[in-house]
Amino acid sequence: MTAAPAKTQSSAPTTKAGKAADYLDQRTGIGVAVKEFARKVFPDHWSFMLGEIALYSFIVLILSGIFLTMFFVPSMGLTTYHGPVATMDGTQMSEAFASTLRLSFEVRGGLLMRQIHHWAALIFVAAMVVHMLRIFFTGAFRKPREINWVVGFLLLVLGLLAGFSGYSLPDDVLSGNGLRITDGVVKSIPIIGSYMSYMIFGGEFPGSDIIPRLFTVHVLIVPALILALVAVHLVLVVVHKHTQYPGGGRTDKNVVGFPLFPVYTAKAGGFFFVVFGVLALMGGTLSINNVWNYGPYDPSPVSAGAQPDWYMLFLEGSLRLMPGQTEYVIGGYTLSLNVLVPAAIIPGLLFVFLALYPFIESWVTKDTQPRSVLDRPRNVPTRTGLGVAFITAFVVLVLAGSNDLIATHFHMSINTITWVFRFAFFIAPVLAFWVTKRICLGLQRKDRELVLHGHEHGRIVRTEAGEYFEVHKPLNEQERWLRVNYEAHAPLALDEQPYHEDGTKNRKYRSAKLRSALSRFFYEDRIEPVTLAELEAAHHHEPHEIADGSDESRQQLS
């Protein structure tokens, strides 16, 4: 293998690059790292770029964010506006809002950076979500990658926090109302809610502390945490080596792909510029968050049809769906379940399910092997069904968060739509689970069919005896291997008794029972891959089948 010039020259280097490398290596020992990493193998697949999109948009966020910090004033001090935006002339507003106007109108390229920053934020979160779905549906979270799943999950939560804190900074009417909703939600927390509200706002809403506080959260705390976790995330990817899709020659013990240098460096580095370039074009052509149309924050006005950024819509929808009857007064204290359930408990459950999923699945599977070959989603029907059910619940909430737009667009009553979504939130995920699982099982059966009987050829042949049959072309080795090389897990047997032999209660029984019940839920319906014996038996029954798809045999038959 050719090596980068930086390494392994034991004799004195002669070229300039060689000398520089020698200088560095004598002081850092970098040669070992280069030797280790330069030709590290990465498998290739379009879905592996999703994480890259997230990473690159984060870098774009940092770059454009640094530009914004040069001009943005994180202060709620009041000022009277005199500037190019005629409609705002003489209006009292916070320094934060005034500086956002200045950024947009008077700093050349400022609006571009604001818009790139905002689009990058939307894409950043979206890419993380889709990346996470890829990991989920292909089982890339299995041993040894469970911890990295949790790291990724934390990154998603931090991404939401980053987006929310940034969205609030310009101190316009929309973001101010968002903060007010936050205040209302915080106040609903039992016992400490009012104090939490005071803690966040430094007194009563809106106060004069929240923007500077959010600024520190937004440009220091959250980005620093994200950066640290991204580092952990990537180090773990290198330690584990990337997963790969199933196929010939790909096993849990190897990795098949292209070397980091030069192919992957060029592709990944190039891809960074593509992501940045696309975001720049978006910032240049698609306007977003035109705060001068909303005006500075004022507690009184509000506009119908205003939407938060997409990743907050599910919370909005969840708040909208909950019927108000569920606020209770207990012993004189107010318990606002109408706010707590939709804003904290339901999102909490969804997020806990996400965070814990790898551990749940490994518990009911009792799989202790490291797994680096990905699952085809159809081969794990229950997991795939659960994933689709999760997405469905999320989408129902997002749609509910836009129910006013749906109502005006389709001329329907908002009450009807709300009722439909209330039911849909419970029914649609169950349906989605069931349908997805059936589809997966169907696809698995189809795979079996293909392996056993080959591709349909579309040609009917008549035998000498006068029988008609359709010619099938058997799969080639690679096609077949893809379809037979998976493990169909069986449910775990219940191996504990309720009582010990001496009649005492067996403490492990209940958990073992739950485990085997869950395991049955996961693996009861399963389709085993075709075995060689089955394939041979199938061939035996179909003596007329052509042996392979070569032209020669085709001619014989046609």
Asked if 384 touches ligand HEM (CB under 6 A), the answer is no
Cβ–Cβ under 8 Å, residues 46 and 52 = no
Is residue 364 within the footprint of ligand HEM (CB under 6 A)? no
Q: Which does 205 bind (CB under 5 to 8 A by kind): ligand HEM, another protein, none?
A: another protein
Secondary structure class of 81 (helix, strand, coil): coil
From the list ligand HEM, another protein, none, which binds 11 (C-beta under 5 to 8 Å, kind-based)?
none
Query: Considering CB distances under 5 to 8 angstroms, the limit depending on partner class, which of ligand HEM, another protein, none binds residue 72?
Result: ligand HEM
Q: Is 121 in the site for ligand HEM (CB under 6 A)?
A: yes
336 binds, among another protein, ligand HEM, none (CB under 5 to 8 A by kind): another protein
CB within 8 A of 512, min separation 6: which ones? 494, 495, 496
Contacts of 143 (CB under 8 A, 6+ apart): 362, 367, 368, 369, 370, 371
What does the alpha-carbon distance between residue 343 and residue 315 come to, in Å, rounded to a whole number? Answer: 6
Q: Does residue 219 belong to the site contacting ligand HEM (CB under 6 A)?
A: yes
The binder of ligand HEM chosen from 56, 60, 102, 118 (CB under 6 A): 118
Q: Nearest-CA neighbor of 188 among 402, 316, 311, 345?
A: 345
Quick one: 18 or 347, whose CB is closer to another protein? Answer: 347
Does residue 69 bind ligand HEM (CB under 6 A)?
yes
Residue 393's alpha-carbon distances to 343, 353, 370, in angstroms, are: 15, 13, 31
Instruction: Decide whether 114 or 371 has the Cβ nearer to ligand HEM.
Output: 114
325 binds, among ligand HEM, another protein, none (CB under 5 to 8 A by kind): another protein
463-467-471 Cα angle (round to 5):
65
Q: Which does 124 bind (CB under 5 to 8 A by kind): ligand HEM, another protein, none?
A: ligand HEM
Q: For residue 250, give both structure tokens.
A: 């790909």
Q: In angstroms, what is the minimal distance from the CB of 409 to another protein?
A: 15
- What CA–CA distance (Å, rounded) separates 227 from 65? 14
Closest distance to another protein from the beta carbon of 34 (Å): 16
Give the number of other CB atoms < 10 A from CB of residue 27.
8
163 lines the binding site for ligand HEM (CB under 6 A): yes
313 is an interface residue for ligand HEM by CB under 6 A? no
Tell me which residue of 316, 318, 75, 78 sits closest to 209, measured CA to CA. 75
Q: Which stretch binds ligand HEM (CB under 6 A): 55-63, 364-372, 434-442, 458-466?
A: 55-63
Q: Which does 284 bind (CB under 5 to 8 A by kind): ligand HEM, another protein, none?
A: another protein
CA angle 518, 521, 527 (to 5 degrees): 135
**Which residues in this chain contact ligand HEM in the complex, by CB under 6 A?**
58, 61-62, 65-66, 68-69, 72, 100, 103, 114, 117-118, 121, 124, 159, 162-163, 166-167, 169-170, 218-219, 222-223, 226, 289
